[in-house]
Amino acid sequence: MEDNAGAASSATTGEIGAVDGGAGNIKIKVSYGSNNFDVFTSPQSTFADLKQLIAKATGLDPKVQNVLFRGKENDDHESLHTVGVKDNAKVILIENSPAKEDGLETVEEVKENIEETSRTVEEVKENIEVISRGLEAVNLVREENNQFAEQVASLEAVVCSGTQVADKDFVFVTEMLMRQLLKLDGIDCEGEGRIQRKSEVRRVQGLVEKLDNLREKNSNPTSDVPETSDEPALSSSSKVTQDWETFE
């Protein structure tokens, strides 16, 4: 910094850049710390051109120069005349300090953190959408199961009244409930959706078991307890129901 300031001091009375008196050239007063010097250039020059002239006077790399005009730093590609730089205009030169560079790195870190947070938020949104879709699918199957539960209740009322029911009625409702179990098995869900799905599976299994009992009672209307053997044969619906007891 001291060497650069010394270079600027030696150029205080010199003319940096275009020769004074050239057609259309303007003088720009540069204030750099406690030093002041002049440079001459065309008003059509850019701030990048101005920084090159300042570099000749100070030895300061243009990349670390902050040139302020009217308290504002302009883009390198902007022309001097477009922002109002005229003859005898004053600019202030400030060197980028390590602290400022560290600050820029901190800004980059903040940006990375923001991007990471955004990705996390998107992942949370996706998970919420998966859970919502799963719950919605389970609820649709539950509504259908409500209708089958009513059919099971109707069959139970008829059987308990002593009226014979056609066996095909039991077979039909049982098969429909098996299809409901397959629907539930095909639902992709997480969290609360998984809990609700498991609960609905158990409900359907209970309905299937009740149908098996009603079917047995319907085939033996005079017996309260179905006849059993040492190794009873399971009906197809009972076998499927037992297989589904391990459903997750």
Query: Same domain for 168 and 220?
Result: yes
Q: Quick one: pLDDT at residue 241?
A: 42
CB-CB contact of 237 with 178 (8 Å): yes
- The distance of Cα 126 from the centroid of its chain, to the nearest Å, equals 7
Query: Same domain for 153 and 91?
Result: no
Query: Same domain for 184 and 86?
Result: no
Cα-flanking dihedrals φ and ψ of residue 99, to 5°?
-60, -40
Tally of domains within the chain: 2
Task: Give 245's Cβ-side CA count (13 Å radius).
Answer: 8
Quick: pLDDT tens for 73-120.
889 999 999 999 999 999 999 987 654 444 555 566 777 778 888 888
- Dist. CA 214–CA 217, nearest whole Å: 5
Q: For residue 181, is it within any domain? A: yes
The answer on pLDDT for 10 being more than 50 is no
Query: Same domain for 25 and 89?
Result: yes
Cα-Cα-Cα-Cα torsion 202, 207, 208, 214, nearest 10 degrees, comes to 150
- Dist. CA 66–CA 50, nearest whole Å: 11
Query: Same domain for 91 and 137?
Result: no
Scored b (16 or more CB within 10 A) or e, 201-216 reads bebbbebbeebbebbb
Q: For residue 80, is it within any domain? A: yes
Question: Nearest-5° angle of CA 7, CA 8, CA 9?
Answer: 90
Q: For residue 121, is it within any domain? A: no
Quick: pLDDT tens for 204-242.
999 999 999 999 999 887 655 444 333 333 444 444 444
* CB-based contacts of 178, cutoff 8 Å, min separation 6: 208, 237, 240
Give the model's confidence band at 34: pLDDT under 50 very low, under 70 low, under 90 confident, else very high: confident
Of the residues 76, 96, 116, the one at which a domain ends = 96
* Residue span of the structural domain in which 12 resides: 2-96
Task: Give the three-class secondary structure for 92.
Answer: strand
Q: For residue 150, is it within any domain? A: yes
Query: Same domain for 149 and 232?
Result: yes
Residue 33: CATH number of its domain? 3.10.20.90
**The two structure tokens encoding residue 41:** 């250039």
Quick: pLDDT tens for 156-214.
999 998 899 999 999 999 999 999 999 999 988 888 888 999 999 999 999 999 999 99
Q: For residue 88, is it within any domain? A: yes
Query: Same domain for 136 and 224?
Result: yes
The answer on pLDDT for 13 being more than 50 is no
Give the model's confidence band at 122: pLDDT under 50 very low, under 70 low, under 90 confident, else very high: confident
Of the residues 96, 120, 149, the one at which a domain ends = 96
Quick: pLDDT tens for 18-32.
434 456 789 999 998
Query: Same domain for 160 and 222?
Result: yes
Q: Quick one: pLDDT at residue 23?
A: 66
Q: For residue 109, is it within any domain? A: no
Of the residues 96, 122, 141, the one at which a domain ends = 96
Report the length, in residues, of the chain: 248
Q: Quick one: pLDDT at residue 108?
A: 67
Residue whose structure tokens are 């270079």: 7
Q: For residue 197, is it within any domain? A: yes
**The two structure tokens encoding residue 177:** 């409930």
Total-model pTM: 0.44
Residue 169: CATH number of its domain? 1.20.58.120
